[in-house]
Amino acid sequence: MSKKFRTAINGKWWNFLPLLFTFHFSLFISSCGSDRQTFLLEGTFKGFNQGELYIYGVNGTHRLDTIAVVKGAFRYEVTLEDSVTFALVFPNFSELPVFGEPRAEVEIEGDASHLKETKISGTELNETMTTFRLKTSQMTPPEVTQAAEAFIRENPASPISLHLFNKYYTQIPKPDYKKAVALVTELQKAQPDEPSLKGLAEKMKGLDGLKDGATLPSFTAKDITGKTVKSSELNAPVNVIYTWAKWNYESVNLQRQLSYFHQQKKDKIKVLGICVDVDFKGCSQTAEKDSVKWSVINDGKMWESPLVQKLGLLYVPDNIVTDSKGKIITHSLKPFDLQDKLRDLLKDEDKLP
């Protein structure tokens, strides 16, 4: 090779050196950033050989996703920018909380027939939650609520406390409202930047007025088509108001069940959906996909929605059932209990002359 040719090659190589350095450095930074944001969840369940689990971020922080279970084992990996409280949903709609963090690996080991004894390890939050779950697995419901209250008072800044508050003080038919307001005040002081806690004390006071036998508060709102909806229009023998979100499988499934009742007994039942998704377009698409034939309200404010607060609705799926005069028959039933209640109510309506 001539000296002139070698000089030319070397010249070109040096010219490209800054570009090569930048390229490799970018790859390095990109690779490190990707690893830094990865959350890995894997595990095994006895008694659950094949099928699917569902997972979503509480309060819409992460979209609904599926996890395949093969020979009792599963693996789920996702990129996270911040910590997320996930709900892991089983085919029978039982849920387990999983606390996700960037750069964390979490392992689950359990028995599908004894979910309360499931062990989740890998991070301090998940191991603390596991300790609480195992400690209370044999307690009576009142004892578990007392244990949850004690944990919340001792650890008001913990995401676990927020989960326990939602589970034992909002997601039940008849919570202790006075105690709930006191607890949420402690949570707000310890977690001032937590969005879901803003205004929750006022919501709890509103929920105190949501009682069987009480009159549904009057309201006017716009549905996703722009139509005006009034509470006075809920004048069928049976009326259902419910909350749903496209990221919550249980609520979407309930919506499909309500479609069945509406098709079979449309002259005896009226339904109103309140979608708490911040994504208006996604809400509309899901409603259209599921052939929802009634009004759906979505103002994009999630739990800060004036209507949600006024009605005292606090979680997904929540519900209120009224009669033709706006009297509250029942509220905050679990989906299967709501379906049974509607069957009984509509059956009784068939007996009327």
Angstrom distance (rounded) from CA 201 to CA 197: 8
Give 144-165 pLDDT, tens digit per residue: 999 999 999 999 999 999 999 9
Q: Three-class SS of residue 138?
A: coil
Non-local (6+) Cβ contacts of 11 within 8 A are: none
On whether the pTM is more than 0.75, the answer is no
Give 171-217 pLDDT, tens digit per residue: 776 677 788 888 988 999 999 988 778 766 666 666 666 778 889 99
Give the confidence band of 45 by pLDDT, cuts at 50, 70, 90.
very high
Contact by Cβ (8 Å): 219, 307? yes
What phi, psi does 157 have (nearest 5°)? -90, -5
Non-local (6+) Cβ contacts of 153 within 8 A are: 183, 186
**Among 117-121, 220-224, 280-284, 312-316, the least confident range:** 312-316
